[in-house]
Amino acid sequence: MLPSLLPSLLPSTLRIDFKFFSGLHRIMPKGNAFGLGRLVQIMESFLKHLETERNLSPETLRAYRKDLEQLQDFFKAKKLSELVDTSAEEVRRWLAHFGERGYSRSTIARKLASVRGYFRFLQRENRFEGRCAFLELDTPKVPRSLPHFLTIQEVMRLLDQPQTDSYRGLRDRAILEILYSTGLRVSELVALDWSHIDSKIRLVRAFGKGRKERIVPIGEHALRSLFSYREAIPSQWIPEDGNWGPVPVLLNRFGQRISDRSIRKIFDRYVGRAGLDKRTSPHTLRHSYATHLVDSGANLREVQELLGHKHLATTQVYRHLTNEAKAAEYQKHPHSTLPDQKVSNP
């Protein structure tokens, strides 16, 4: 098989420049034949592992591909041929050049994690021996920032933006209502089929990261918007047998399942119309959902389950958000501070 044809045989979400792996021959056990075919096989095995065993989304797979491609570009620019024999200093330079290009610390840490994931995969598969600087270097410290969220008034303003006198307007209203009512991620929203929604007991079956299933309540406002939208779906897209179960909940203009990207474009349009902060994204409604629950007295453990968080520490950030909001509101009190004076401890 010609090397030039090899990348085209891979699925588009998994395709990556196989030349990146040509420097890996030195990390394999000595005396073991390692031709081009095996290089491509290892690349495909790793990305297939991410897709099938870890159930990563196409968007996350693309991020892995980009991270590995950028590593390849850096080594080409620095004329470095070795990957595993690279020194810790060279790995630090690789990380530093992202900082020079304006990448955030969290993004840089994620890129290192992607590359580490690849080398750990090789280790588990017994495909290389020896030390690896990528695995030994400490992960850059990432300052914990509080997520952006909307006030209840801002959420209501956003929900009121779609004009509900048309099919698209009804669909868009349903999108916004579901996101705020359930706290679903965009990937979970687009994956919904009608069989995942039980309107009688007002529950939604969502499939989160790693295809983990969780049950989430859905409010009456969202259900009303959802079924108003379904009644407006064009007749040619209505199932002939009347079985809505396997049909995607949200459809694009071709009657197919809507994409993550389309959801984000729709969302951005209404954010602009509502005059909200440009940082506002679909995930902002998830943060707002959680913040408003905690602010209303919801138990953190329960919120953790609703969001599908693996660790409680991830959910605790919403308690910090509500505390900061309360502190900011208290500053409006006329006696919260003394004019031009610092308050000293008694």
CA atoms of 158 and 176, how far apart (whole Å): 8
Alpha-carbon torsion, ordered 225, 228, 229, 231, to 10 deg: 160
CA atoms of 282 and 186, how far apart (whole Å): 7
Q: Residues of 145-169 as b/e, b for ≥16 C-beta within 10 angstroms?
A: eebebbeeebbebbbebbebeebee
Name the catalytic one among 205, 283, 319, 320: 283
Give yes or no: 118 in active site. Answer: no
Give yes or no: 214 in active site. Answer: no
Q: Is 23 helix (H, G, I), strand (E, B) or coil?
A: helix
Name the catalytic one among 15, 286, 287, 292: 286
Q: How far apart are the first and last CA of the chain?
A: 81
Name the catalytic one among 62, 196, 209, 224: 209
Measured in degrees and rounded to the nearest 5, phi and psi for residue 102 equal 90, 10
Give yes or no: 221 in active site. Answer: no
Give yes or no: 64 in active site. Answer: no
Name the catalytic one among 65, 111, 173, 185: 185
Tokens of 115: 């590359």
Give yes or no: 148 in active site. Answer: no
Give yes or no: 103 in active site. Answer: no
Bridge partner list, 206: 214
317 in Cβ contact with 327 (< 8 Å) = no
Catalytic residue list: 185, 209, 283, 286, 309, 318
